[in-house]
Chains A and B, each alone.
Chain A
Amino acid sequence: NAGVMQNPRHLVRRRGQEARLRCSPMKGHSHVYWYRQLPEEGLKFMVYLQKENIIDESGMPKERFSAEFPKEGPSILRIQQVVRGDSAAYFCASSMGLEETQYFGPGTRLLVL
């Protein structure tokens, strides 16, 4: 039973480029969460999605960041016009339902040059 999968594991972008991070939840899970971990810090919640719906985006920066979880395929976190401050590890988690345990993927480490 595969766990939460994220790709790529490492992503290097130059300032101004776009970054696309993908997350495939565990089988049977329909809830996806994105978190960001800055160096030497804890994880900060960004967004919570269910299939085709954004439920809570209270932790998402208002500009340049967007997320989707389509009916088919992985969840995508998209960062447009990246800046150096976007360099971080981005973790995806999934759960079977609301208030169920969240299981984390291995993360995507984004480096903006």
Chain B
Amino acid sequence: GDSVTQMEGPVTLSEEAFLTINCTYTATGYPSLFWYVQYPGEGLQLLLKATKADDKGSNKGFEATYRKETTSFHLEKGSVQVSDSAVYFCALSDSGTASKLTFGTGTRLQVTL
């Protein structure tokens, strides 16, 4: 079945540091890939997405590239801010089961001054 594996957290960085959160996936079809962010006490917000191989999703300084050869969708940001502190979830929607999202377990990011 479909699955998503994320690096475990928490990840603690100083402000302006470079961020990478690794995400790899297993899917039977041709999935779309997503990063969602969850701030404390809130629901999930879509951060970015990519629907086919080699697509790059980007938003608010975050980027992720859909790599079919390595089945990966790593999240990166060049310079993090304290306000980026949140839990980040990688997810996929398989073309064969487009009705459901399969999530990773989430990676907590804490950014300090």
Contact = CB atoms under 8 A, between A and B. Distances in A.
B45 interface: yes
Q: How large is the interface on A (under 10, 10 to 19, 20 to 34, 35 or more residues)?
A: 20 to 34
A42 B43 contact: no
Given A43-B89, A99-B93, A91 B103 contact: no
B17 interface: no
B43 A102 contact: no
A106 B43 contact: yes
Given A98-B99, A99-B93, A43 B46 contact: no
Interface string A74-113: 0000000000000000010100001101111111000000
Q: Which residue, of B102, B103, B104, has the highest number of chain A Cβ atoms within 10 A?
A: B103
Please list the 8 inter-chain residue pairs (A to B) with the smallest Cβ-Cβ separation, ordered nearest first. A42-B103, A45-B100, A48-B99, A99-B98, A104-B44, A106-B43, A104-B43, A42-B105
8 contacts: A33-B101, A42-B104, A48-B99, A48-B100, A93-B101, A99-B32, A99-B93, A101-B46
Interface of A: 4, 6, 31, 33, 35, 41-45, 48, 55-56, 58-59, 91, 93, 98-99, 101-107
